[in-house]
Structure 1
Amino acid sequence: MSEAELSTTPLPVLGPSVPPWPGKEVLVRGGAVFVRRTPWTGPVEGGPATEAPRERALYVHGLGGASTNWTDLAALLAVRFDGWAVDLPGFGRSRPPARGRYSIRSHVRAVVDVLEHVVAQPGTGEERLVHLVGNSLGGLVSLLVAALRPDLVATLTLVSPAMPVYRVPPAFSRALLLLLVPGVPTLAERRLAAVTPDENVRSMVRMCFGDPGAVPRERLEQAVQEMHERAQQPWADRALARSMRGLITSYLRLGPANAWRAARGLRMPVLVVWGGRDRLVDPALAPRLAATVPDSRLLLLDGVGHVAMLEAAESTARAVLGMVEGRSVEPGVAEPPAVADGPRSVRP
């Protein structure tokens, strides 16, 4: 484990209201998911674009989030990456999975399918490894994807990943433990449906940000609008309740957890990013996870909460670029993909 190195690469200056990136549906096993695309821009400062590094990245959001959580970070990293951000099944603009299952395993399958789609796209970076970035639930899913399909992943960035622990975070309502009781998720769905979009956004901001008062007004307005759109989806509350049940189950699972075993087996460079004021996943897990991964670097952000890619986008971007720049074999070219040895037997 080492301390994350921050890149000095010039980054674009973003305004407070960068609009969400456009996207389209991508076919995956069991249906389709909505994927937003952030095109590569090249360096901020001049120079021949043909000599500039151009690689690919996939961003995976957390529980209750969406691909729009990556708007700012993807814009900053566009100096090096063509970016894709997925709405997991049942979230954002993605419809629910065909069989209505919201298990970690089903999310892993969806992300693997999107990764294969990204790798196969024609143009610069075709058939090369992809830089995978995940937050919270999406971080847990991304870790398992990287362990299962290392032939697809160049580097892995984990922003406050929801690693299995043996207790429920204090920020979680004790009433949510009822989600573990068979049949109760339906009641939870009704309770979630009774929360207005405005109340939902205020609650999420209080839980997820280290300094809720610093969130720009434009971002809050965008979040409320997104929540209003999500409230019109008949499957939205079920997707959240069922996915939350799976996540809480992982917190209470006894014995060795698959995710920790998977972390020990990772061989690609891994960046662990954590906010010191994370109320949802204990920041004490950060050094533990970084120490578990063989080739890791750690970035701890004082005063930041659970969503560093939103609250500290530039610091997160510089840490990602620092890791990637440290592994590049030559300017403008990503490392060639490793020889695929087939899916590993990691069971999400």
Structure 2
Amino acid sequence: MSDAPLSPTPLPPLAGPLPPWPGADVPIRSGTVFVRRTPWTGPADGQEVAGAPRERALYVHGLGGASTNWTDLAALLAVRFDGWAVDLPGFGRSAPPARGGYSIRSHVRAVVDVLAHVADQPGEGAGRPVHLVGNSLGGLVSLLVAAQRPDLVATLTLVSPAMPVYRVPPAFSRALLLLLVPGVPTLAERRLAAVTPEASVRNMIRVCFGDPAAVPPERIEQAVREMRERAGQPWADRALARSMRGLITSYLRLGPANAWRAARSLRMPTLVLWGSRDRLVDPALAPRLAAAVPDGRLLLLDGVGHVAMLEAAEPTARAVLALAEGRTGDELVAFPPAVADTPRSVRP
């Protein structure tokens, strides 16, 4: 394990919340999923575009999230990447799976299919492995994808991945464990349906952000609009409840399907990125995971919560770029301590 450097590559300014990137349906084995596309821009400092690195990246959101979680980060990383962000089956604008359900295995298959689709697209980068970035549930899924199909993955970035733990985080209701009981997920779906979009967004911000008060009002309004759209989908609550059940069930798996065992098998450069105020997945897991990966790098962001790509897009982008650029810990770039320092509250 080594400390993750931050790239000095010039990045474009982010002037307020960006609108979501456009997208389209992509066929997968279980139906179709909606995938947003962020086109490559080339260097942000006006340098010659000819010969500038142009690669591909796929972004995978977390439980209850959507492809729009990556809007800002994808815009920053467009200096190097053509970006694709997937709505997992049943989330965002993706329809529920025609078969396969909401197990972690099903989500893994969906991401493998999208990765292959991205790699097969014509143009520069065609046929080459893709940079894979996942958050929370999407981080766990991305790890398992990389372990199963290393030929498709150039680098792997895990933002607060939902690694198996055997105690319920304080931010979660212990009633969620009842999702393992047959019949209970239907009750959970009814309770989720009773929560208004405004309340859902307030709860999400309170739990997922290190500093909820710092979230811009425009971002909250945008999230409420998305939540209202999602509330109109008859399958939305089932997708959330069943995916949560699939996540918890996956923690009980042994052998190659176990995420910790899969992490030890990874051979591509891997970045483990965590916020010190993550209330959903214990930051103490960060150094353990980075140490388990043979070529693991670790970046802990002080004061940041569970969704670093939303709350700290620039340092997240610089860490992902450094990984793609092949930088090492000896090439650390000087940034403010609040961005790059290891918080004392995180135990090794």
The two structures have a TM-score, normalised by structure 1, of 0.92
Work out the CA distance in 2 between the residues paired with 1:174 and 1:289: 25
2:64 is paired with a residue whose SS is coil
1:272 is paired with a residue whose SS is strand
In structure 2, what is the equivalent of residue 285 of structure 1?
285
Structure 1: any 5+ residue segments left out of the alignment?
A: 329-348
Counterpart mapping for 1:294-309 below 5 A: 294-309=294-309
Over the aligned positions, Cα root-mean-square deviation in angstroms equals: 1.3
2:83 is paired with a residue whose SS is strand
1:294 is paired with a residue whose SS is coil
2:299 is paired with a residue whose SS is strand
In structure 1, what is the equivalent of residue 343 of structure 2?
none
The CA deviation at 1:254 is 7.5
In structure 2, what is the equivalent of residue 6 of structure 1?
6
The CA deviation at 1:197 is 0.2
The CA deviation at 1:178 is 1.3
In structure 2, what is the equivalent of residue 85 of structure 1?
85
1:133 is paired with a residue whose SS is strand
Q: Structure 1: which amino acid aligns with 2:31?
A: G
Q: Deviations over 1:198-233 (max 9, x none)?
A: 000000101100000001111100100000000000
Counterpart mapping for 1:1-348 below 5 A: 1-99=1-99, 101-251=101-251, 253=252, 258-326=258-326
Work out the CA distance in 1 between the residues paired with 2:86 and 2:327: 25
Q: Deviations over 1:311-344 (max 9, x none)?
A: 000000000111111169xxxxxxxxxxxxxxxx
Work out the CA distance in 1 between the residues paired with 2:163 and 2:192: 24
The CA deviation at 1:193 is 0.1
The CA deviation at 1:66 is 0.1
Work out the CA distance in 1 between the residues paired with 2:73 and 2:254: 36
Q: Is the 8 A contact 2:30 2:100 kept in 1?
A: no
Work out the CA distance in 1 between the residues paired with 2:275 and 2:250: 21
Stretches of 4+ aligned residues off by more than 3 angstroms: 254-257
Work out the CA distance in 2 between the residues paired with 1:27 and 1:269: 29
The CA deviation at 1:168 is 1.2
In structure 2, what is the equivalent of residue 334 of structure 1?
none
The CA deviation at 1:175 is 1.5
2:134 is paired with a residue whose SS is strand
2:151 is paired with a residue whose SS is coil
Q: Is the 8 A contact 1:230 1:236 kept in 2?
A: yes
The two structures have a TM-score, normalised by structure 2, of 0.92
Work out the CA distance in 2 between the residues paired with 1:144 and 1:122: 26
The CA deviation at 1:305 is 0.3
Q: Structure 2: which amino acid aligns with 1:51?
A: G
Q: Structure 2: which amino acid aligns with 1:188?
A: A
The CA deviation at 1:48 is 2.0
Work out the CA distance in 1 between the residues paired with 2:325 and 2:138: 24
Work out the CA distance in 2 between the residues paired with 1:177 and 1:121: 41
The CA deviation at 1:246 is 1.6
Q: Structure 2: which amino acid aligns with 1:167?
A: R
Q: Is the 8 A contact 2:76 2:314 kept in 1?
A: yes
Q: Deviations over 1:35-75 (max 9, x none)?
A: 00000000011222111100000000000000000000000
Q: Deviations over 1:277-330 (max 9, x none)?
A: 0000000000000000000110000100000000000000000111111169xx
Aligned residue-pair number: 327
1:11 is paired with a residue whose SS is coil
Q: Percent identity?
A: 82
